[in-house]
Structure 1
Amino acid sequence: MRMTNGFTPSTTGDVVVLPPIGDPSAADEMNHRIANSLQLVMAMVSVEARAVIDPHARAVLQMTGQRIGAIANVHRHLYRSHAATHVALGDYLEELAADLEQGCGQGAAARRVLVGADAVAVPPDTANAIGVLVSELVANACKYAYAPDTHGDIRITLNAMPFGGYRLQVEDRGHGRGDGATRGSGMGSRLIDLMAARLNAAHCWQDARPGTRFVLISGRP
């Protein structure tokens, strides 16, 4: 594997390492090590996925890599912002959306992942759970919301609630999904439910007419 600077998801198996910053704190050093270690694991998963012939198994490994990348991005954000206790959730979602968009198709089937976010700060554990949840939702929308040969957008919206907490929405304008359940093996749907429970947040699927909308509401930051 080739070592490079910067930090972006690897689709070639390269290990991408965060560059050092000046005068890092102990928390910065910890987040630096965690982010780089997770990036290494993600690169290894990417290499294994390319060697798998079965398309379903390959897709599972690729999704696993995205989940690892979502957690790595939290520590990357903490490292760059010198934050130890809270993550600027809107900024994090912008970074995550840019990463996810790279894996959402090209050419006529290109998918834009757009973010509109209020200023909301959350603890790192909360950001981790939201990152995994959003990665799962965006991946499902990329695969199932639109016809394979057409482009389409996925929108992530984060609103601060008047008395604390936040409202998170992930929406597409595709053909809809009937009862709103995620497709595939069902693991994604279970993971979304698990992350929502971990966040102690209410969530639901809505018919966006057209498309599908996922809404999560938490009464606490």
Structure 2
Amino acid sequence: MSTSIRVLILEDRSEDAELMVHELRRNHFEPDWRRVDTESEYNAHLGWRPDVILSDYNMPLLDAARALDLLRELDLDIPFIVVSGAIGEDAAVAMMRRGAADYLLKDRLARLGPAVRRALDETKLRDETRRAEVALRASEVRFYSFMNHSPALAFIKDAEGRVLYINNTCEQIWGMTLADCFGKTNYQLWPAEVAARLHANDATVFEGGQASQMLEQFSPPGGRTRQMLTFRFPFTDADGRRLLGGVSIDISEQVRSEKALSSALVTKELLLKEVHHRVKNNLQIISSLLTMQAEALQDPAAARALQDSQERVQCMALIHERLNRDDEPDRLDFHEYVETLARDLFYSYGVDTERIRLSFELQPVLLGLNQAIPCGLILNELLTNSLKYAFPNDRAGQILVTLSCGGDELVKLTVADDGVGLPAEFDWQESPSLGLRIMNILGRQLDGTVQREAGAGAVFSLTFPRTALPETGATPIEAQTAAKKAGTSRISKLGQTA
């Protein structure tokens, strides 16, 4: 099979140019070629963007050295091969130093085909490398922008405890600049007693190889004492170095609220403890996502992975937003949440709702927060996969979301699309996809199952047993009915008191 290429030939003898074209065809190229022998013609044809330039060394009106210099002045990465009747070794070396891809003699044109193929391969490799570097730089810019706008303190340390990375939240929380922190150990940043405690916490995670959550107290010089909930996790970078990552959340206000409410009614004290417990559980989920992202960042698709994680965090944030609308922080009208999340995702992806229709078959279902969050994340993954992959090339179709809960207290959530579907042999449970792995993990967390079902397109369902709602004497179905009669959802934002 011939390879189509555009060839610009700098040659004052048409018969020599035709010999080159013949040799290219003999080597399975299909050249679209132009011959020029003046500087003005050469400049004009560079706009044609040839794949390769073949140039005689000496011509009356333009020589190879001048042609190569013009190419470099325009910053064009086009392979330039010198094909000459006679060229000395010194001249050939000089041309290679100027940037020529190769040189050969006209009486040895058998080398032309392999030389062109090698030059094209090298140019393709350079182009791919440049694109990868640009994508990597863009990914790094997005990552650092995301981290530096995060209210959480994030850091990375090496095996000796030196700070390799920290976001600028350290200035707000610790009162230290980035320059104060980079390359420093705990003992260089904190008083000996505090440093020893932090060093021990770091060592526990580093040596044990397991993620850990710890409550820590900091008293920066000249600043107020802060209570920090810190999540540490070990990971390995692309060079095989073992590193320690961490995320710290300032929970000073929550701790002060706990102390202020110590004399309040038992119900408020229990509620506060429950809120604190849920805050920690949510942060553990965030920590798990960050840990998985830290591993995934070694993949070239890091930018997409980061965006996926942001969508998952937004999915959890939507739950807390809905919980802000009433005074029950422990239950969620999940059927209302399903519709809101689905419509938000359609808006986020800029879906043409005339092309892809969204429909629902939802029964009223109340879920506790500990089940609503993983269930919401699974719903987010299923909807996102349908929007990404089910309707390529402007294909029209429909996504149907169903939710039910029977007398056996088994909740079933199904997302079905009539898109292109999945290959019959595709085993989603063995897929390396981060999103599918998250679905598996969260399904097990719910003591449930995520299954692929038969149907047109892709059909996935989540089935799990609903747990009893806390602090209520009514059965879940009775509580659900009462909530509907009240005409409002009994939910409030996590971390706020009534």
How far is the alpha carbon of 1:82 from its aligned partner?
A: 2.6
Secondary structure class of the residue paired with 1:102:
helix
Equivalent residue, structure 1, for 2:301: 56
Secondary structure class of the residue paired with 1:176:
coil
Where does the alignment leave 5 or more consecutive residues of structure 2 unmatched?
A: 1-145, 150-267, 287-298, 468-498
1:219 maps onto 2:484 in alignment? no
One-letter amino acid of the counterpart of residue 214, structure 1: F
How far is the alpha carbon of 1:56 from its aligned partner?
A: 3.2
How far is the alpha carbon of 1:115 from its aligned partner?
A: 2.8
How far is the alpha carbon of 1:195 from its aligned partner?
A: 0.8
Q: Taking every aligned residue pair, what percent have the same amino acid on both sides?
A: 25
1:92 maps onto 2:337 in alignment? yes
Distance 2:464 2:352 in 1: 37
One-letter amino acid of the counterpart of residue 123, structure 1: G
| 8 Å Cα contact 1:105/1:111 also seen in 2 | no
Q: Which of 191, 197, 208 lines up with 2:438 in the alignment? A: 191
| 8 Å Cα contact 2:403/2:411 also seen in 1 | yes
Equivalent residue, structure 2, for 1:131: 376
- Report the RMSD for the aligned CA atoms in angstroms: 3.1
How far is the alpha carbon of 1:219 from its aligned partner?
A: 2.5
Q: Which of 134, 140, 144 lines up with 2:385 in the alignment? A: 140
Distance 1:123 1:149 in 2: 39
One-letter amino acid of the counterpart of residue 84, structure 1: P
Comparing both chains, which one has the higher relative contact order based on Cα–Cα distances under 8 Å and sequence gaps of 6 or more? 1
One-letter amino acid of the counterpart of residue 415, structure 2: V
Assess, with a 3 A threshold, how the Cα gap between structure 1 residues 103 and 111 changes in structure 2: closer, same or farther. Answer: farther
Normalised by the length of structure 2, the TM-score is 0.32
One-letter amino acid of the counterpart of residue 202, structure 1: T
One-letter amino acid of the counterpart of residue 326, structure 2: S
Distance 1:102 1:162 in 2: 35
| 8 Å Cα contact 1:101/1:111 also seen in 2 | no
How far is the alpha carbon of 1:155 from its aligned partner?
A: 1.7
One-letter amino acid of the counterpart of residue 116, structure 1: E
Distance 1:183 1:69 in 2: 27
How far is the alpha carbon of 1:206 from its aligned partner?
A: 1.5
Runs of 4+ in 1 over 4 A off after TM superposition: 107-110, 182-185
Assess, with a 3 A threshold, how the Cα gap between structure 1 residues 158 and 144 changes in structure 2: closer, same or farther. Answer: same
Q: Which of these two proteins has the greater Rg computed from alpha carbons?
A: 2
Distance 1:131 1:75 in 2: 12
Aligned length: 177
One-letter amino acid of the counterpart of residue 130, structure 1: C
One-letter amino acid of the counterpart of residue 418, structure 2: R
One-letter amino acid of the counterpart of residue 448, structure 2: A
Equivalent residue, structure 2, for 1:3: none
1:159 maps onto 2:398 in alignment? no
Assess, with a 3 A threshold, how the Cα gap between structure 1 residues 217 and 86 changes in structure 2: closer, same or farther. Answer: same
Which shifted more, 157-166 or 108-117?
108-117
Assess, with a 3 A threshold, how the Cα gap between structure 1 residues 182 and 57 changes in structure 2: closer, same or farther. Answer: farther
